[in-house]
Amino acid sequence: MEHLPQQYRHLFPILQTHTMLASCSQSALAEPVSRAIQDYHDSLLYMGTNWKEAIEKTEFARNEFAKLIGAEPDEVAIVPSVSDALVSVASSLTAFGKKHVVYTDMDFPAVPHVWQAHSDYTVSVIPSIHGVMPLEQYETHISDETVLTCVPHVHYRDGYVQDIKAIAEISQRKGSLLFVDAYQSAGHIPIDVKEWGVDMLAAGTRKYLLGIPGVAFLYVRKELADALKPKASAWFGRESGFDGAYAKGARRFQTGTPAFISVYAAAAALSLLNHIGVPHIRDHVKTICADAVQYAAEKGLQLAAAQGGDQPGMVAIRDERASETAALLKKKKVICAPRENVIRLAPHFYNTKEDMRHAIDEIAAKTIHK
Ligand SMILES: Cc1ncc(COP(=O)(O)O)c(C=O)c1O
């Protein structure tokens, strides 16, 4: 699998000077993505207007994301962020008459934030057990009163991967809708919303999707989308911009003009990812993470990942001073992602085994000389 970095590293100028291992936060910028950003900028600078091209680019990005997750383009809405995606979803559930929502203690804080603001819903948090989430937890906490179950595909802190197909089966059997936060998986772990039976799924573009902030995607299963009337919806969610009828499918979850510059970036980035193929990326990332786990253990570092689930696509190392360590590493041109008391080394297809070992050497040296 070492052929992936060999083939693609030249597309990422920063890799000539830096070790980039922060894909769980912001991945490296590829030249085609940089050119796309420049194209949008230049179209305003030299042509004055570019509405038609920007709308076409938006449809292209929608298609590419749909391809990435096994959906139809009409099942994908373009929204500003994953948080906004969930706000739109939350605004659409009144028709069900049920008022119980569950999410997990592995969800990114944006998920609880959205539900804390909805005091008309009863909310339960599904607790993980020693860092893993047994399926029995879903059997226990989802009831026939549950309207929506929110789960992360991958835990943002240590990379723990959940079995979404199994969770979807439980959720469906109990009559709950399922919302999957795939921000930490889309772009390096294959997703198949149809095969898994997912109702809704969201992912933003600045992490493993190789883009920049400003745009995210919300998948809503077609039959479900057509039955929902989100309150967080405006002219980009209408059949025609000036007509009051909801658009068909997931588009009705859209509000206003998308951040076109981010859409241009996303279109180029998704096209690159689909060209490479996420299953190949997954194989490569798994291989270099397996090596890194062993190497980190040899160096005496303590790993944060729990035992269980599919193999994580990141290596999370315990460090009570994670932010300080990340700042030190940054001075040495090693970019990783601290979060609470862990340092996350989150590689992508452009990284090598040596990148991971180099970062681990730097972390171990810092720990020893502290
Ligand atoms: C799993 C996960 N979900 C959601 C978010 C927040 O995304 P956004 O800022 O697009 O709302 C993050 C950001 O780090 C995340 O890791």
Mind listing the pLDDT tens digit for each residue in 6-32?
Answer: 999 999 999 999 999 999 999 999 999
Higher pLDDT, 246 or 306: 246
Q: Are 86 and 202 spatial neighbours (Cβ–Cβ below 8 Å)? A: yes
Q: Dump pLDDT digits (tens) for 198-208.
A: 999 999 999 99
Ligand 1 pocket residue status of 160, Cβ below 6 Å = no
Ligand 1 contacts CB of residue 218 (under 6 A): no
Which comes out higher in pLDDT, residue 253 or 369? 253
Cα–Cα distance between 108 and 100 in angstroms, integer? Answer: 19
Whether ligand 1 lies within 6 angstroms of the CB of 183 is answered as yes
Token code pair at residue 73: 């383009």
Query: Residue 368: what pLDDT?
Result: 53
- In short, whether 259's Cβ falls inside 6 Å of ligand 1 is no
Any idea which of 56-65, 236-245, 296-305, 333-342 has the lowest mean pLDDT? 236-245
Q: What are the structure tokens assigned to 280, written together? A: 């190949």
Judged by average pLDDT, the poorest of 175-184, 224-233, 299-308 is 299-308
Percent pLDDT > 70 in the chain is 98
Average pLDDT, the chain: 95
From 23, 26, 82, mutation site for ligand 1 pocket: most ligand atoms within 8 A of C-beta: 82
Does residue 138 line the site of ligand 1, with CB under 6 A?
no
pLDDT at 364: 95
For residues 322-334, average pLDDT: 96
Q: What is the model's pLDDT at position 305?
A: 80
Q: What is the mean pLDDT of residues 68-95?
A: 97
115 Cα–ligand 1 center, Å = 15
Residue 205 in contact with ligand 1 by CB distance below 6 A: no
Indicate if ligand 1 lies below 6 Å from the C-beta of 88. Answer: no
| pTM for the predicted model, two decimal places | 0.97
Q: Which residue has the tokens 């996303």?
A: 266
Place of tokens 């607790």: 127
Structure tokens at 274: 């689909």
Of 67, 89, 64, the closest CA to residue 179 belongs to 89
Give residue 367's pLDDT band: very low, low, confident or very high (50, 70, 90): low
Structural domains for the chain: 3-29+277-369 (3.90.1150.10), 34-274 (3.40.640.10)
Summarised one tens digit per residue, pLDDT across range 212-269 is 999 999 999 999 999 999 999 999 999 987 878 999 999 999 999 999 999 999 999 9
Confidence at 2, pLDDT banded by 50, 70, 90: low
Question: Three-state secondary structure along the chain?
Answer: CCHHHHHHHHHCHHHHCCEECECCCCCCCCHHHHHHHHHHHHHHHHHCCCHHHHHHHHHHHHHHHHHHHCCCHHHEEEECCHHHHHHHHHCCCHHHCCCEEEEECCCCCHHHHHHHCCCCCEEEEECCECCECCHHHHHHHCCCCEEEEEEECECCCCCCECCHHHHHHHHHHCCCEEEEECCCCCCCCCCCHHHHCCCEEEEECCCCCCCCCCCEEEEECHHHHHHCCCCCCCHHHECCCCCCCECCHHHHHCCCCCCHHHHHHHHHHHHHHHHHCHHHHHHHHHHHHHHHHHHHHHCCCCECCCCCCECCCCEEEECCCHHHHHHHHHHCCEECEEECCEEEEECCCCCCHHHHHHHHHHHHHHHHHC
